Amino acid sequence: MMNNQLQPPGRVAVFLSGRGSNFEAIYRHSLNSGANFRVVLVISDQALAPGLRKAKNLGLPALAVFPRSFASKSDYEKMLIAILEEHRVELICLAGYMRVVGADLLERFPDRIMNIHPALLPAFPGLDAQRQALDSGVKITGCTVHFVDAGVDSGPIILQRAVEINETDSVETLSQRILEQEHQVYFQAIELFFSGRLQVRGRKVIIGV
């Protein structure tokens, strides 16, 4: 316990492409006195992402890095890795980052990249997960925090939260209730990671005590 107190806070980078509400929730929780991590960097592939602007306004190092400025995905990711190393990042949290992570980043940060998805994976991976859930007629959906692997929304699952679907739900009302759960569950997964309680065994994440 005492050792935990003495550990420096874990160093998190958030990658985003849009609104950035998950980034804000993670950042807010990182300011709590008991938090075991800090957001040390925000990266976006979109110059005009509102989340990037929010991060800048908070005084965080916040950079736009455009994949199209590089000859290949590998070159783009090598640049990201250089920036991440410069900021001594230990964990990358994808939060509405609309790109598939490539081999270079995965190799440099094995089991050190998380994502949040607005459905109970493995159901409804990919785009428009809330609409997929509504259209399918399921009564329960939710959100999932998982480690990122080479697939789309396919890596080992860390935490999930369920959300009931009402008959009157639209994509907007359902998305809003899922988002409230996302904002609660992502920082919990990050705290578990930095408290050394997450262990990846094959497809499974074991949460230790």
Chain contacts with ligand GRF (rule: CB under 6 A): 16, 18-22, 51, 95-96, 116-118, 179, 182
Cα(129)–Cα(133) distance, rounded to whole angstroms?
Answer: 6
| 29 part of the active site | no
- In the complex, least distance from residue 124 CB atom to ligand GRF, rounded to whole angstroms: 11
- Between 10 and 51, CB nearer to ligand GRF: 51
- In the complex, least distance from residue 116 CB atom to ligand GRF, rounded to whole angstroms: 5
Residue nearest to ligand GRF (CB): 96
Cα–Cα distances in angstroms (integers) from residue 169 to residues 87, 134, 160, in the given order: 42, 8, 21
Which parts of the chain fold into alpha helices (H)? 2-6, 21-30, 50-57, 73-86, 103-108, 129-136, 171-194
Q: Under a CB-based contact definition with an 8 Å cutoff, are residues 161 and 143 in contact? A: yes
- Between 46 and 195, CB nearer to ligand GRF: 46
Q: Under a CB-based contact definition with an 8 Å cutoff, are residues 151 and 103 in contact? A: no
- Between 10 and 177, CB nearer to ligand GRF: 177
- In the complex, least distance from residue 50 CB atom to ligand GRF, rounded to whole angstroms: 8
150: nearest Cα among 49, 66, 81, 73: 73
Q: Which residues are catalytic?
A: 117
